[in-house]
Amino acid sequence: MNEPPLNSTATAELTVAGSDLASASPDSPPPVFPAVLATARMVALMEVASARIVQPFLVAGETSVGVNLQVTHTAATAPGAKVRAEARYLGREGKLFLFEVAAYDPAGEIGRARHTRAVVTTARLEAGAARRRGA
């Protein structure tokens, strides 16, 4: 596999819907989480932006998976707002691909992360998951 050029960037966007809210979590403890963008949803958007940098360099049968994320969620975002994650490729550390990611809504930055991804064989990953299910 080739690797992306240093400082390559990609973005991912969403408009915050009801299903993106912390309050939509079925596991929400009392009191119910607030009706703002869930941290988990922001993280997912950050992963998508990072994966888009690696995707063009994968060969058939490969995918990239997140293995580490150090994240700070600094501002609440209301339903209906547009959120954008911007990822930048920092290089490799052994087999791992390193990214810096920031997320924004119309009022400014809402979160920041350092993210690490690995390239794996999709079939091997899914087979390992199936074995764990049977354990």
* Cβ–Cβ < 8 Å for 16, 79: yes
Catalytic residue among 73, 77, 115, 116: 73
For the chain, give the number of residues: 135
| CA–CA separation, 120 and 128 (whole Å) | 12
- Provide the 8-state DSSP code for 14: E
Active site residue 73: yes
Coil, helix or strand for 73?
strand
Residue 115 annotated among the catalytic residues of the structure: no
* 39 assigned to active site: yes
Residue in 9, 11, 39, 63 annotated catalytic: 39
The burial of 100, by beta-carbon neighbours within 10 Å (0-12 exposed, 13-18 middle, 19 or more buried), is given as middle
b/e code 45-78 from CB counts within 10 Å (16+ = b):
bbbbbbbbbbeebbeeebbbebeebebebeeebe
User: What amino acid positions are annotated as catalytic residues?
Assistant: 39, 47, 73
